[in-house]
């Protein structure tokens, strides 16, 4: 007969309080499982990703660039086509009666590879043409008209979800959509590039010539700075040496501020570091666009380099 005093029972893991936060890897695994085995909690994945975004950089192990992408993907759910479309006044289009050479001239003047084609007015868009279809006609002297080269476009309402249109464009392999109002009039246009930029930020090609990053000195001693300004140029023009952030390869002042904060800061937020205050003035697609920089103190290091005063 067994002695109850000598009977052993298997150890069970300690109970975890519901208030105790789960480790990051457990939350990610739980979110992935919810994709394959849906539960009544349809927001499980979204909640986990939001928790990861809100966690400090040191705890989540996610870089600022990855954090920005995750945040933009989450925000895309609430974006409508009307929020990211090209407005009617800015649409570059061509008439159905235009010649191939005329359309080429329009594309060359505006650096577009696709243009919508309309009949009489822009409210009667019948499709679009791609430069890849026009060039062979000119190269091989083919007797073709614009009507022969028209490809279909998608017609959508401004209230349509941006994520839904992005999925539809991928499935139908159509890269352009016309945004129409309740009466069928054209309000704007959206391309697949516009939707992708909602996630990754503005995509600039070889033809885009952005103005050089600027520094403006104000009367109160603060600086208004384009966040694209390279760190080396900021240090050279202000005589301020920014401490290196370990483990990060950062080129711009905006990237430096984001990494200093450990996340993407909000408009109006101030990030403090090494005697300087960086206030976020403008954001675009989850990226810092403009900063106000203020010196919090006057100091010098042993080499005589100023760390608190700034002169642009």
Residues 120 and 172 in one domain: yes
Residues 187 and 96 in one domain: yes
Instruction: Return all residues near 249 (Cβ < 8 A) that are at least 6 apart.
Output: none
- What is the distance between the alpha carbons of residues 204 and 170, in angstroms, rounded to a whole number? 21
Strand, coil or helix: 264: coil
DSSP 30-88: HHHHHHHS--S-TTHHHHHHHHHHHS-HHHH---HHHHHHHHHHHHHTT-BHHHHPEEG
The domain of 258 spans 215-295
The strand pair at 176-180 and 154-156 is best described as: parallel
- pLDDT for 308 equals 46
CATH classification of the domain holding 141: 3.10.580.10
Residues 86 and 196 in one domain: yes
- pLDDT for 53 equals 66
Is residue 124 assigned to a domain?
Answer: yes
- pLDDT for 22 equals 56
Residues 168 and 106 in one domain: yes
List, run by run, the mean pLDDT of 10-residue segments along the chain (312 residues).
48 49 54 48 64 64 74 82 92 95 92 94 96 93 93 96 93 95 93 89 62 78 90 87 71 88 88 89 82 73 45 58
- pLDDT for 232 equals 87
**pTM for the whole thing?**
0.54
Instruction: Return all residues near 15 (Cβ < 8 A) that are at least 6 apart.
Output: none
Is residue 100 assigned to a domain?
Answer: yes
pLDDT tens-digit profile of 76-92?
A: 878 899 989 999 989 99
- pLDDT for 212 equals 63
Among 42, 76, 110, which residue terminates a domain?
A: 76
Instruction: Return all residues near 184 (Cβ < 8 A) that are at least 6 apart.
Output: 123
Residues 172 and 113 in one domain: yes
Structure letter (DSSP) for residue 5: G
- pLDDT for 223 equals 92
- pLDDT for 285 equals 65
- pLDDT for 58 equals 57
Residues 116 and 163 in one domain: yes
Is residue 43 assigned to a domain?
Answer: yes
**Is the Cβ–Cβ distance between 133 and 54 less than 8 Å?**
no
**Is the Cβ–Cβ distance between 31 and 48 less than 8 Å?**
yes
- pLDDT for 204 equals 63
- Specify the number of domains making up the chain: 3
């Amino acid at each position: 007969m067994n002695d109850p005093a000598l009977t052993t029972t298997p150890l069970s893991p300690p109970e975890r309080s519901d208030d105790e936060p789960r480790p990051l890897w457990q939350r990610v695994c739980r979110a992935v499982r919810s994709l394959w085995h849906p539960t009544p909690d349809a927001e499980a994945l979204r909640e986990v990703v939001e928790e990861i975004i809100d966690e400090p950089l040191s705890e989540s192990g996610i870089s600022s660039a990855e954090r920005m992408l995750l945040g933009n993907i989450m925000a895309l759910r609430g974006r409508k086509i009307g929020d990211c479309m090209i407005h009617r006044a800015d649409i570059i289009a061509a008439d159905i009666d235009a010649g191939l050479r005329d359309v080429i001239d329009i594309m060359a003047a505006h650096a577009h590879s696709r243009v919508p084609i309309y009949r009489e007015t822009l409210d009667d868009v019948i499709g679009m043409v791609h430069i890849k279809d026009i060039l062979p006609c000119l190269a091989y002297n083919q007797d073709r008209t614009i009507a022969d080269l028209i490809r279909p476009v998608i017609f959508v309402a401004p209230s349509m979800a941006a994520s839904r249109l992005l999925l539809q464009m991928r499935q139908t392999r159509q890269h352009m959509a016309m945004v129409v109002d309740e009466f069928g009039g054209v309000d704007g246009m959206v391309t697949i590039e516009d939707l992708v930029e909602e996630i990754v930020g503005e995509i600039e090609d070889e033809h885009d010539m952005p103005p050089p990053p600027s520094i403006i000195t104000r009367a109160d001693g603060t600086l208004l700075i384009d966040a694209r300004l390279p760190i080396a140029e900021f240090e050279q023009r202000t005589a301020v040496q920014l401490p290196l952030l370990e483990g990060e390869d950062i080129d711009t002042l905006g990237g430096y501020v984001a990494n200093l904060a450990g996340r993407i800061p909000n408009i109006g937020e101030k990030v403090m570091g090494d005697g300087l205050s960086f206030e976020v003035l403008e954001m675009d697609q989850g990226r810092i666009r403009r900063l106000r920089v203020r010196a919090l103190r006057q100091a010098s290091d042993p080499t005589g380099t100023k760390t608190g005063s700034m002169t642009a």
